[in-house]
Structure 1
Amino acid sequence: MIISPNTAIQKPTVSQSRKIQLTSPILHIGSEVSRLNPFEYVQTGSRVYFPDREILAKALQQRGRLQNYIAAIENRDDITQLLEDSFGDSWWNTKTGNGEAIFPKITSSRKWTEQKITELRPMIRNGMGQLYIPGSSIKGAIRTAIAYYLLKHRDEYKVTPKVSEIEEKLREKLNQGDVSHSQKKKFLDDELFMDNLFTNFSLTYQDKKVPAKIGPNTDLMRAIEVTDSQPLLEDKTVNKRGKEVTLNLPVVAEVIVSSRFDNYTAKYRASIYTEMVRNVQTEFTLSLDTEMLSWFRHRQDMKIPFQTIDDLIKICSEFAQEQWDAEYDYWQNIKNNQNAQGKNLNFSDIRSFYELEKCPFTLRLGWGTGMNGTTIDLLLEEELKAQIRDAAGIKAPQFEAPKSRRSVMSANGEIKYVPGWAKFKLC
């Protein structure tokens, strides 16, 4: 919908703006391409390289090997042998006559597995090839946290519909078979409650009223701005114990997808090879336009649950705690499996990770957060969550939803980490 000049609203000067330091043990934010073809990356025993394909093509053309490269692309073949034949055993150090690196170090990652990497999932990069966290990813997680908070505290903020009413409508959708359709599933939350929570507002600006649900103007999240993070550049620091630690370390790790058997013994489902960042430390800016916030009036008198940036951090932290408690319960019940299709599913380190009663993180971001982190599922009845999963995802009758989890293997081949947990610290 195109907003006419008479309807468009100019944003005023931001009232609150804070820099926030974001730290995370390990995370992955997906790129536009969910999986890379074999010719789009090259692996050695210790690193994974992502070539500048335009520069690579020119260099191969100069060596008369361009047609071989084109054939590899058409066949989706690995290009390692072609690179060795064209540039020698140390092909990753090759530069053009102009000094341009064909395999820039900034776009390479440590290889944390001895296995041959297949169907690699890359991390998002900016136009300079640098890893970063998009502001849209952070803002989307904040939006989910606000929705969860409003529905959990519905009486305090005069929220409609009730969670029980949402559950009733969901059951109707399930009975009609609507949830199984991908497009309807995508917009199901918006139809049932998200639109009412975030866009069912009218605005009053300079004595002009803008009715509810007129384009993006009436979306409450317009009052919140989140910048992209600073690039995740590899760096060194010394921790409190005097040990040198590498920050923002890009790695390609084996991610274990596991579930459980009826007796709660861990069950191996698959391995996924994913580019991730270990020991994340970066900054972004969170802004709240309190003047704009004052324009919003909900048509059903729902109260806005935040007025300051501190309020937003509190809302995110409460949602993180709910997820943390659910993950603790899940992992405490899972039993190790020493021989699961050749995998040693030992989750002792994961259980230790969740031992703290108070969640030390503010939000969970990106890949691996699952249903509990991207929806309000933790407010729904267990049976209904399982029905939604069975209708819209992979069926697992008689099991809780979500049934599976993703955990990350260290360079030593031990199941060590869970992705996505992030801590915010106001600078």
Structure 2
Amino acid sequence: MTNSDSSALTIFNTYKTQNYESKTIELRSPILHIGAEFSQLNPFEYVQVGTKIYLPNPEALAQALLKQGGRFLQDYMATIENKESITSLIKVAFGDAWQDKLKQISDLRPLWTQDEGQTISMLRPMIRNGMGQLYIPGSSIKGAIRTAIANCFLNHQVPPNQGVSAIESELRKRLSQGGLGNNQQQKFVDDTLFMDNWFGDYSLQYQGKEYHPRSLQNTDILRAVKVSDTSPLVKQTRKNKRGKKVGFNNSPVVAEVIVSSRFQDWLAKYKAPLYVEMVRNVRTEFTITLDQEMLSWFHHNQGIDIPFSTIDDLLRICQEFAQQQWDKQVEYWQNLRNNRHRGKSLNFDRVWDNFYVKPDCPYTLRLGWGSGLFGTTINHVFASDIQQQIRDACGIAAPNFAAPKSRRTVVNSQGDIQYVPGWVKLNVRG
């Protein structure tokens, strides 16, 4: 390292010490799923053996098939090309030892089901890091924090001419003129309506001079916030205070997820089952770093105050948003009536008892798949008719029903509907 490099590093470390606030955050969740690049696995990517799901390492499987000789490797390539199941090929290639070979080259996921004859036709995988380990990307956490901040702006900061009524008026206008555009435009309609203004309409004041960058990327206040990826979700034994084993943390499973809605009289309605790779009893950590000096450079061009200056402020903002989501869910679940529909018993008593019976939200944020419109947008603040029209324009239309209409709940290993995905608790590490 040259003297100039050493000097630059010293200056940078001094700047960090003086201006960075950094905290390690413990993240806990009953159960969650963060989607992977591909929404479902192909038949050649997993093997089901009763209530066990094997996810073979493709490279290891290819090498093992090559060692067996013959056409096994070529046949494997053909099954991939044709998107067919590899189960029969593995049985033929490895004979009586095929299950032992699968265990050696695969990740094992128990299937939560009481029906050992249940066949999985579609499986949604969870995201993995470059080492093939399950984790939660910092971008997912930061995206949820951004939505919570937008909710805070709307609750406390924006002037009336930019508040809920103004946004609703513009939404009504756009919807009356033919909707929210094509699928690509729908994804970013909130940016043009309010997000660009709240997060990007800033000038920068630095060393006595004012700058007006043209790029919204340069004036986004969340440039001052860095969120790391979590530690890998490695399965670990969980013990009680006496040191006795009571289960596992970060336990990966394949769970049946019930997609349900309701009839007009609030009787539960069964829509579909999904089989999803999820992580149970999540215990991990990540780091939030706030550059407080950089944040001080930002001055909103319309005088809106930045609602945070510390990491504790960010967590408080997340908690406020979580409580508002929670209130909406409580309203839904206290009205829903258990029902038997299409041969499925829809008994949601455990969901109510384990989650929404509590008026105060015990969680800080909702992450990932299953969090729905209320978890990923500020849709909850709009009038119900606008919520419905946005849902109908951007998702699956359900005329005359409140949005969101459907909910996703997770079936436990005993076959009971018990969990709600995505609720997470964030605590600052001592």
Match of 2:136 among 133, 136, 159: 133
1:58 aligns with 2:63: yes
TM-superposition CA deviations, 1:120-159 (whole Å, max 9, x none): 11001111111111000000000000001110113xx647
Q: 2:184 is matched with which residue?
A: 183
Q: Which amino acid aligns with 2:59?
A: E
Give the direction of change, closer, same or farther, for the CA distance of 1:54–1:363 in structure 2 (3 Å limit): same
Q: 1:31 is matched with which residue?
A: 36
Q: 1:304 is matched with which residue?
A: 306
Q: 1:420 is matched with which residue?
A: 422
| Structure 1 unaligned blocks of 5 or more | 1-9
SS at match of 1:141: helix
Q: Which moved more, 1:355-364 or 1:75-84?
A: 75-84
* 1:17 shift after superposition: 0.5
Q: Which amino acid aligns with 1:18?
A: K
Structure-2 separation of matches of 1:28 and 1:147:
24
* 1:47 shift after superposition: 2.2
* 1:317 shift after superposition: 0.2
Give yes or no for contact 1:239–1:245 (8 Å, CA) kept in 2.
Answer: no
TM-score (norm. length: structure 2): 0.91
Q: Which amino acid aligns with 2:295?
A: L
Give the direction of change, closer, same or farther, for the CA distance of 1:234–1:210 in structure 2 (3 Å limit): same
SS at match of 1:253: strand
Give the direction of change, closer, same or farther, for the CA distance of 1:212–1:42 in structure 2 (3 Å limit): same
Q: Which amino acid aligns with 1:77?
A: E
Give the direction of change, closer, same or farther, for the CA distance of 1:327–1:213 in structure 2 (3 Å limit): farther
Q: 2:281 is matched with which residue?
A: 279
Q: 1:216 is matched with which residue?
A: 217
| Structure 2 unaligned blocks of 5 or more | 1-11
Q: Which amino acid aligns with 2:319?
A: S
TM-superposition CA deviations, 1:146-196 (whole Å, max 9, x none): 001110113xx6476111110111111111224251111011000000000
Q: 2:379 is matched with which residue?
A: 377
SS at match of 1:217: coil
1:117 aligns with 2:124: no
Give yes or no for contact 1:158–1:303 (8 Å, CA) kept in 2.
Answer: no
Q: Which amino acid aligns with 2:92?
A: D
Structure-1 separation of matches of 2:155 and 2:89:
58
Q: 2:5 is matched with which residue?
A: none
Where in structure 2 are the equivalents of 1:390-405 lying within 5 Å? 390-405=392-407
TM-score (norm. length: structure 1): 0.91
Q: Which amino acid aligns with 2:274?
A: I
Give yes or no for contact 1:72–1:78 (8 Å, CA) kept in 2.
Answer: yes
Structure-2 separation of matches of 1:164 and 1:359:
27
* 1:234 shift after superposition: 0.3
Q: 2:83 is matched with which residue?
A: 76
TM-superposition CA deviations, 1:77-113 (whole Å, max 9, x none): 2111211111234434328xxxx9422xxx3322113
Following TM superposition, the consecutive aligned residue runs of length 4 or more in structure 1 with deviations greater than 4 angstroms are 157-160, 240-243
Give yes or no for contact 1:150–1:159 (8 Å, CA) kept in 2.
Answer: no
Structure-2 separation of matches of 1:328 and 1:307:
31
Where in structure 2 are the equivalents of 1:176-325 lying within 5 Å? 176-239=177-240, 244-325=246-327
Give yes or no for contact 1:406–1:418 (8 Å, CA) kept in 2.
Answer: yes
Give the direction of change, closer, same or farther, for the CA distance of 1:409–1:373 in structure 2 (3 Å limit): same
- Of all paired residues, the percent bearing the same amino acid is 55
SS at match of 2:334: helix
Give yes or no for contact 1:234–1:246 (8 Å, CA) kept in 2.
Answer: yes
Give the direction of change, closer, same or farther, for the CA distance of 1:76–1:69 in structure 2 (3 Å limit): same
Q: Which moved more, 1:83-92 or 1:254-263?
A: 83-92
Q: Which amino acid aligns with 1:82?
A: L
Q: Which amino acid aligns with 1:351?
A: W
1:86 aligns with 2:71: no
1:142 aligns with 2:145: yes
Give yes or no for contact 1:408–1:415 (8 Å, CA) kept in 2.
Answer: yes
Give yes or no for contact 2:201–2:216 (8 Å, CA) kept in 1.
Answer: no
Q: Which amino acid aligns with 1:116?
A: T
SS at match of 2:29: strand
TM-superposition CA deviations, 1:302-357 (whole Å, max 9, x none): 0000111111111000000011111111011111112x212111101111121111
Q: Which amino acid aligns with 1:21?
A: E
Give the direction of change, closer, same or farther, for the CA distance of 1:92–1:223 in structure 2 (3 Å limit): farther
Where in structure 2 are the equivalents of 1:329-408 lying within 5 Å? 329-338=331-340, 340-352=341-353, 353-408=355-410
SS at match of 2:217: helix
Give the direction of change, closer, same or farther, for the CA distance of 1:72–1:123 in structure 2 (3 Å limit): same
Q: 1:327 is matched with which residue?
A: 329
Q: 2:4 is matched with which residue?
A: none
Q: Which amino acid aligns with 2:95?
A: G
Structure-1 separation of matches of 2:321 and 2:59:
44
TM-superposition CA deviations, 1:240-296 (whole Å, max 9, x none): 696612100000111000000111111111111110000000010111111111000
SS at match of 2:123: coil
* 1:62 shift after superposition: 2.8
Q: Which amino acid aligns with 1:164?
A: S
Structure-2 separation of matches of 1:135 and 1:57:
33
Query: Please, what is the CA RMSD of the aligned residues?
Result: 1.9
Q: How many residues align?
A: 408
Q: Which amino acid aligns with 2:164?
A: V
SS at match of 2:329: helix
SS at match of 2:253: strand
